[in-house]
Amino acid sequence: MSNINNNLPIIFCAIDKPDLESAKKLCTEISKTGLGLKLGLQFFNALGPQGVLEIEKSFPNIPIFLDLKYHDIPNTVAGAIRSITSQCKPAFLNVHAAGGLEMMKKAKEACPAETKLLAVTILTSLDEQAISKVGYKETVKERVVQMAKLTQEAGLDGVVCSSHEIEAIRDVCGDGFILMVPGIRPENSDAGDQKRVMTPHKAMNTGATHLVIGRPVTQNDNPAQAAQDILNSIK
Ligand code: C5P
């Protein structure tokens, strides 16, 4: 396992819900488990910063990863980060590494120290065939490693990457770099649209520092139990 100890939850549960009532219901379940909460684009585009504030107020002890994946010109991304962090206090926020070095530097300058800033490398829903259709010439791994190096050069705290690139990134970015890994599937669970998946236990042993897990927990009839089973599996 990685030697990062930032006192933040190892697992962030993706609260991919479009309304406050169902999001709060799910957060109440998750609050029994020690998992963090990940609020993403579906939640944010329905409920905005007010929705995030409402979750912060209702669950003040649970760290939030605000997964808004900013990708625009440097000035606009820096402004977006100032706007959101003047209202909400997420533990993690992220941008796309494809926005480039200058964008990531400006994003980091705009981000308060108490919020860790990560960069998304290549989405875990994309495989080799999908990225070659986008026009990328390198393999997924080569591309992701290059993006992780750029992210580190820009001074960010870490990257969001798939489990299949954990080792390659660790080799070049060292132990202190945060690797937040989605596309996690316990044994025998449905991959859905995720292409590059791994079990929670293997991902942590390979060097992930944090995992993002959505549907294997949220679509279970007993989300708190599903979360606990996953936590037990990585101990
Ligand atoms: O349900 P599932 O476990 O696939 O949810 C994964 C979550 O992680 C989703 O909210 C998705 O938006 C997010 N995510 C991802 N791949 C990335 C970055 C974020 O799947 N590269």
State the pLDDT at residue 125. 85
From 6-10, 59-63, 223-227, the region with the lowest mean pLDDT: 6-10
- The stretch 142-162 carries a mean pLDDT of 97
Say whether pLDDT at 3 is over 60.
Answer: no
Q: Letter for the amino acid at 120? A: V
| Mean pLDDT of the residues in the chain | 95
Helices marked H in the chain: 20-30, 41-58, 74-85, 101-110, 128-134, 140-153, 166-173, 200-206, 215-218, 223-234
State the pLDDT at residue 235. 84
Q: Which long-range contacts (CB under 8 A, 24 or more apart) does 141-145 make?
A: 141/165, 141/168, 144/168, 144/169, 145/169, 145/172
* 16 CA → ligand 1 middle, Å: 9
Count of C-beta atoms within a 10 Å radius of residue 160: 28
* 95 CA → ligand 1 middle, Å: 14
- Ligand 1: nearest atom to the Cα of 194: 4
Q: Please name which of 39, 95, 94 lies closest in space to residue 63, comparing C-alpha atoms.
A: 39
Q: Tell the residue number behind the tokens 């690797």, with chain if given.
A: 179
Cα 131 to Cα 143: distance, rounded to the nearest angstrom: 10
Say whether pLDDT at 190 is over 90.
Answer: no
State the pLDDT at residue 197. 86
Say whether pLDDT at 13 is over 80.
Answer: yes
